Amino acid sequence: MSVAAPRASRRRLRYVAERRGFLATLLISPAVLFIGALVGAPLVLAIYLSFTDATGGSLTGKWIGLRNFRDAVDNSIFRGALWHTFLITLISQAVVVVCAGLLAHALVRKFRGRWILRFLILLPWAAPIALTVTGWYWIYGAGIPESSIFNWFLVHMHIVSNANLPNWLGTPHAAMSSIITVQAWRMIPFATVIFLAGISSIPQEVDDAAAIDGATGLRKFWHVSLPLQLPIATVAVLFGVIFTATDMVVPYILTNGGPFNSTHVLTTWAFQIGIVSGNVGEGAAIALFMLPLLAFVTIAMLVFARKAEVT
């Protein structure tokens, strides 16, 4: 009796252990199925559609080979969109890295008023972007230069005159700068938060060891702190690149590709062709130009996530 009871429970334990693989499959499969149906299948469908002449209202179309891609590339607005996507992503993320790096190093210390300052810095990330971009549309003057608060500041600092106000969303170069500003503005808080996590994850012993070895200030930063933070910071930047390059909300609400198609990016152009003009096949082909970037970032992410794990 007294011997049988532990043996029975041990047998049950072993039974449970044997079921473990089965149980894990059972628990994970709903997630995998959901993702396969809602991400994998549409992705395959997008690739298929890009080779057909499908239009709004039908999922099928005649197979037309690479014609959609040729038509897309032949269009100068598309080539502009490709260039703008690159430019907006590169410049905004460069600004983000510098600003977030500075901010994270300042915020890692303890000081009075930190909570409220952190709250203010997080605002652009926490607030829904479609709504805040609408706010920015108004800040830029909503098409009327006189009502832009920026212009009010510029006039009162005597940088521009009342007769010659910049139209922030109405001229090509100004519109591009406006979009880049908003993209950087909304990504700085997220990058700061992740950088901060990277700095805080450096163990105190490393700091102490560096101090004993006589490393201080910039030297310590360059040889000790920076290499340790780099992997996690890179992951944050890769996120920023993907979110910015594939974003449609900011350019769509601010300019919708205008003025004169001078600020289209891949996403707004794909929406214009695929939904507004109803040319689903070509729209899908345009959107697929984001795929190489996606593949590159995915691979980079895997490499750096592994490095981050090692440190």
Partner 1 sequence: MRRRIFPYAVVVPFAIVLAFPFFWMAVTSLKSNSQVYDPTKTWNFHPTLVSYGFLFHQTDYVRWLKNSTFVGLMVVLITLAVAMPAGYALARLAGRVGRGLGVGIFLTYLVPPTLLFLPLSRVVAQYLHLSDRLWALIVVYPSFTIPFAVWLLMGFFKAIPQELEDAALIDGCSRIGALVRVVFPISVPGILTVVIFTFSLVINEFVYAITFISSSTNRTLAVGVPTGLIRGDEYNWPGIMAAILIVSIPLALVYNVLLNRFIAGFTGGAFR
The radius of gyration computed from the CA coordinates of the chain, to the nearest angstrom, equals: 26
CB of 259 to partner 1, least distance (A): 19
For residue 34, the Cα-to-chain-centroid distance in whole angstroms is 23
Nearer to partner 1, 110 or 214 (CB): 110
CB of 71 to partner 1, least distance (A): 16
CB of 17 to partner 1, least distance (A): 9
CB of 256 to partner 1, least distance (A): 11
Nearer to partner 1, 80 or 231 (CB): 231
CB of 208 to partner 1, least distance (A): 18
Nearer to partner 1, 65 or 128 (CB): 128
Nearer to partner 1, 173 or 201 (CB): 201
Decide: residue 297, CB within 10 A, 0-12 exposed, 13-18 middle, 19+ buried.
middle
Question: Structure tokens of 301?
Answer: 């992410």
Question: Cβ contacts of residue 193 below 8 Å, gap of 6+?
Answer: 122, 125
CB of 260 to partner 1, least distance (A): 22
